[in-house]
Structure 1
Amino acid sequence: MKSSLFMDFSIDKGKNQINVTREFAAPLKHVWAAWTEKELLDQWWAPKPWKAKTKTRDFKEGGYWLYAMIGPQGEEHWARADFKSIDTQKKIELHDAFCDSDGKLNMDFPRTKWKIAFNETAAGTTVQVELTYEKLEDLEMIISMGFKEGFTMALENLDGVLAAQK
């Protein structure tokens, strides 16, 4: 279901960045929990009909999240997010990449530097996501793989998770 909440998705090829701003009709504490607790992340992170499954998650600076995106036929695509900086209910910085089920990075794909900022508003919470790539070719590869469509669908899944918490 397409969300009516504000979303802006822009690409800055000069900076090798994707910028996403998204509103959520939920308090900051619920949005933060949905981005930081593996039980909640697994409910929304993958675009349907895919599912996310966490193998391990140590949410602290220097920790990491190892998870799979599992397709409708049972196919698995693994990813690893390394947490660089965490400012509770304000900001998360991480580097993520495709990997194998043990977390060994797949160097055929680029790493993404994520900066995720959380801001409480009168209507709920706004999340700003800045994704940075080493080079333009890396950015273009991720876009061609359907990142915009997949991430948009995942954020719409998050609306459902947040609505269920009310």
Structure 2
Amino acid sequence: MELAVDKDLENATLTVTATFAYPIEKVWALYADPRKLERWWGPPTYPATVVRHELTPGGVVHYYMTSPEGEQFHGVWHVKTVDEPTGFTVDDFFADAEGAPAEGMPTVHMDYRFESTPDGTRMVCVSSYDSLEDLQKTLDMGMEEGLVGSMGQMEAVLAEG
């Protein structure tokens, strides 16, 4: 897997491009199958647990990551569009245990696109923020490092078959 992260501060976006030596259906399953999603979503030391998974327009995906100290950090996707297996869009936000948005935390508008290539699949995710301040808040929290660490776990899940 090759991975690149591009920060565009002027437009308050973070773009992740990854290439995989696996067919598009396998890469799609990393998001569509909640058991696969929880094996890589979240940094290696903050494993994810998916408690609700509705990857359909209008659906909700609710997950939490558990810190090494046992603290839970909840997040929710409000699913906007789904075009299996070529893409989906969600609004992702930090939440409380019931799934309500956490006060003072930004919402990230994520647009995932998958395309077949001669060697496998190319994935591009553009995360758009409402303001540069919102993007900077997540960067200050370690979003970029967490993203790279999380996505670094995808290859092992894909290799399992």
Q: TM-score, normalised by structure 1?
A: 0.94
1:148 paired residue number: 144
After superposition, where does 1:79-118 map in structure 2 within 5 Å? 79-118=75-114
Aligned to 2:10: 14
4+ runs of 1 displaced by more than 2 Å?
A: none
CA distance in 2 between counterparts of 1:107 and 1:100 reads 9
Q: What amino acid maps onto 2:38 in structure 1? A: D
2:20 maps to 24
Cα distance in 2 between the residues matched to 1:149 and 1:43: 17
The aligned residue for residue 119 of structure 1 is 115
AA aligned to 2:51 is K
Quote the residue 1:37 is aligned against: 33
Coordinate RMSD, CA, aligned: 0.9
- Displacement after TM superposition at 1:39 (Å): 0.8
What SS class does the counterpart of residue 56 from structure 2 fall into? coil
Structure 2 unaligned residues grouped into runs of 5+:
none
- Take 2:142 and 2:20, find their aligned partners in 1: how far apart are those partners? 23
Pick from 61, 81, 87 the counterpart of residue 57 of structure 2.
61
Counterpart of 1:152 in 2: which secondary structure? helix
Q: Secondary structure of the equivalent of 1:142?
A: helix
> How big is each residue's C-alpha offset from its partner over 1:81-116, in whole Å with a ceiling of 9 and x where there is no partner?
000000111111000100011111012110000000
**Which residue of structure 2 lines up, in the alignment, with residue 163 of structure 1?**
159
**Residue identity matched to 1:57:** H
Quote the residue 1:78 is aligned against: 74
| TM-score, with structure 2 as normaliser | 0.97
User: What residue is the counterpart of 1:48 in the other structure?
Assistant: 44
**Residue 48 of structure 1 aligns to a residue in which SS?**
coil
Deviation at 1:50, TM superposition (A): 1.4
- Structure 1, unaligned runs of 5 or more: none
